[in-house]
Amino acid sequence: MSGGWAAKELTEKGLRTLVLDRGRMVRHGEYPTATTDPWDLPYGNRITEETRKRKPVQTRTGYPTPANQHWFVDDLDNPYTETNRFDWIRGYHVGGRSLMWARQSYRLSPMDLEANAKEGVGVPWPVTYDELAPWYDYVETFAGISGNLDGIATLPDGKFLPPMDLNCVELDFQKKIADKLGRKLIIGRTANLTAKLTHDQSPQRATCQYRNMCIRGCPYGAYFSSVSATLPSAERTGNMTLLPNKIVYELIYDNDKGKATGVRVLDAETGVQTDYFAKVIFLCASTLASTFIMLNSVSTRFPNGFGNDSGELGHNLVDHLKAPGVNATVEGFTDVAYTGRRANGYYVPRYRNVGKDKRSYLRGFGYQGRASRSGVGRFNDSDLIGAELKEAFKEPGPWTLNLSSFGEILPNHLNHATIDRTRKDKYGLPVLNIDAVLRENELAMQKDMVNDAVEMLEAAGYKDIRVNSGDKYFPGLSIHEAGAARMGKDPKTSVLNKWNQVHACKNVFVTDGSFMASSACQNPSLTYMAFTARAADHAVSELKKGNL
């Protein structure tokens, strides 16, 4: 996600840029299952035992079905250790998780960026919303974000393409929770093109065809990914050299120059070790992978890991908190359905600890969900068989509606990653150890996340409300891990400055989720994009001034 943005911005500003990716090459259009009909997917597109054996962590998400499993890493070949269970979900290929992401794109708000300072949690954000807003505008315009102008102060509007529509039942739910509880429900803001882009820089991208198979890769380029959008732009400049299968495992630090001079790389296919050199280095490997590279870069200047004067590198690891999903059956609306497959749902923005609301915990959460007509699964509990079952199937099942929550996890020094040198991966590299648990604030919030969902479904008068108590959340499962090299004003308590530069080594920028001083509860990718574009602009400007 962030790597593609760094490549685009740096190359467009005239820098000859080497892009190193540890995974295999993927070019736009190279999505093997993108147009595969459902009957051509083996095993009814269920996760196979073989996938479970090779990818025991990745399958915790439920995503690596035959249609998608090639985008998820082989856990046996790419081990890490868990002092406490942490679901590290990875895609080692060019484009990374920007190919599989859920495309929900929300801005952080002034409230989110001010919370640490106000509450004395973690370190204050060194960036204000006003500084960030033009960069949100910039990345939204290029990426193409569909959304409605909702006028919610705590979820700022952006430069949107037209919103997708809520269906009849979602509109009913929207009205009822607004009337009865004063809560808002909006159509998801998603990086799918609902209209032509407002620029002509991405001729390879067409509008959304409502197939809802985004995770397989979109041959229309209708959703934003590094592969569909930023890397083609970078390539067109003629300034990019992209090398796949290059595992960056260490930054090279030159004591005399006081700078990083390059990176050490292992070729994933041959094992050959090479050093690559550059004036400016952007680490965009994803939070935990960048953390690994920095922790693994030990020198006399940085004995505890690259840029780790503060001792905070690897610490303050967060994700987005989930609670069991809640769903209900909606009576009525039996004579309507929908056609097309909307690659999006609705969003209930955070309302807890907003305005006069005051809870026993800090921060809050939002919900995502959708209303749909139930399918064949509804027969699992029935005794219908035979012609009766087939007849019953001819009409769509009752409407159901679900709420799935994403809450903020507070940064905590104790939640951290370190290098486990007792184990080696197949390349001979040590592995990452992750140790993060939910703490008091999260556990209190989780209760509200379930109770509020039930409350909303009850207020709407829906029936058969079910809490999916089987949804057990462990950190990492939201795939929003962030914060392990946080930014801040003070080099004594943070790793990066407000420009995503390593405090102690200004020619190294880290622009994946690592920099997040707090995570708010919104899906984070849009924020990574904005910070990356901003950091690249700063890097080029500093380079021109001779400051790097």
For residue 32, state whether it binds another protein (rule: CB under 8 A).
no
Q: Please list, in sequence order, all residues whose beta carbon lies within 8 angstroms of the beta carbon of residue 91, skipping any fewer than 6 positions away.
A: 23, 71, 72, 73, 97, 99, 100
> Applying CB under 8 A, does 42 fall inside the site for another protein?
yes
Residues 6+ apart with CB under 8 A from 547: 506
For residue 415, give the nearest of 312, 327, 493 by alpha carbon. Answer: 312
Laid out side by side, the sheet with 81-82 consists of: 81-82, 430-435, 416-424
Shortest reach from residue 131's CB to another protein, in Å: 36
Build a one-symbol-per-residue string for 212-241: x at contacts with another protein by CB under 8 A, - elsewhere. x-----------------------------
Measured from the CB atom, the residue of 3 and 66 that comes closer to another protein is 66
Applying the rule CB under 8 A, the residues between 268 and 297 that interact with another protein are none
Could you tell me how far CA 365 lies from the centroid of its own chain? 16
Distances in Å between the Cα of 328 and the Cα atoms of 182, 234, 352, 376 are 20, 46, 22, 17
Binding residue for another protein, selected from 19, 20, 26, 47, defined by CB under 8 A: 47
Pair of tokens at residue 470 = 């089987």
Q: Which of 16, 46, 118, 359 binds another protein (CB under 8 A)?
A: 46
Residue 40 touches another protein, criterion: CB under 8 A: yes
CB 248 within 8 A of CB 476: no
Q: How far apart are CA 61 and CA 416, in angstroms?
A: 22
> Does the protein bind another protein through residue 35 (CB under 8 A)?
yes
Of 14-22, 386-394, 441-449, 478-486, the window that binds another protein (rule: CB under 8 A) is 386-394
Site stretch for another protein (CB under 8 A), options 254-262, 289-297, 331-339, 359-367: 331-339
Between CA 84 and CA 79 the distance in angstroms is: 15
- Smallest Cα–Cα separation from 105: which of 177, 221, 1? 1
The answer to whether residue 386 forms part of the interface with another protein (CB under 8 A) is yes
Q: Is 131 helix (H, G, I), strand (E, B) or coil?
A: helix
User: Which range, of 88-96, 385-393, 447-455, 474-482, touches another protein by CB under 8 A?
Assistant: 385-393
CB atoms within 10 A of CB 196: 12
Indicate the SS3 state at residue 163. Answer: coil
By CB under 8 A, residue 474 contacts another protein: no
469 binds another protein (CB under 8 A): no
- Residue 392 within binding range of another protein, rule CB under 8 A: no
Please give the Cα distance from 250 to 261 (Å, whole number). Answer: 11
Contact status: 470 vs another protein (CB under 8 A) = no
Q: Please pick, from the candidates 153, 178, 336, 444, the single residue that binds another protein as defined by CB under 8 A.
A: 336
In the set 257, 390, 492, 544, which binds another protein (CB under 8 A)? 390
The binding track of 439-458 with respect to another protein, each residue x by CB under 8 A or -, is --------------------
Provide the token pair at 328.
């209900």
Stretch 339-358 residues interacting with another protein (CB under 8 A)? 339-342
At 327, which amino acid appears?
N
Q: Which of 238, 356, 387, 422 binds another protein (CB under 8 A)?
A: 387
In the shown chain, the binding pattern of residues 136 to 175 toward another protein, with x for contact by CB under 8 A and - for none, equals: ----------------------------xxxxx-xx----
Which among 499, 489, 490 has a CA at the least distance from the CA of 532? 499
Using CB under 8 A as the binding rule, whether residue 328 contacts another protein is answered as no
In whole angstroms, the minimum distance from the beta carbon of 379 to another protein comes to 6
Options 81-89, 337-345, 409-417, 493-501: segment touching another protein (CB under 8 A) = 337-345
CA neighbor of 122 nearest in space, from 435, 480, 467, 487: 487
The stretch among 304-312, 383-391, 406-414, 458-466 that binds another protein (CB under 8 A) is 383-391
199 part of the interface to another protein, by CB under 8 A: no
- Annotate 260-314 with DSSP letters as a single string: EEEEEEEETTT--EEEEE-SSEEE-S-HHHHHHHHHT---SS-TTSTT-TTS-TT
Q: Does 62 bind another protein (CB under 8 A)?
A: no
* Interface with another protein (CB under 8 A): 35, 37-50, 164-168, 170-171, 209-212, 335-342, 372, 375-376, 379-381, 383, 385-387, 389-391, 393-396
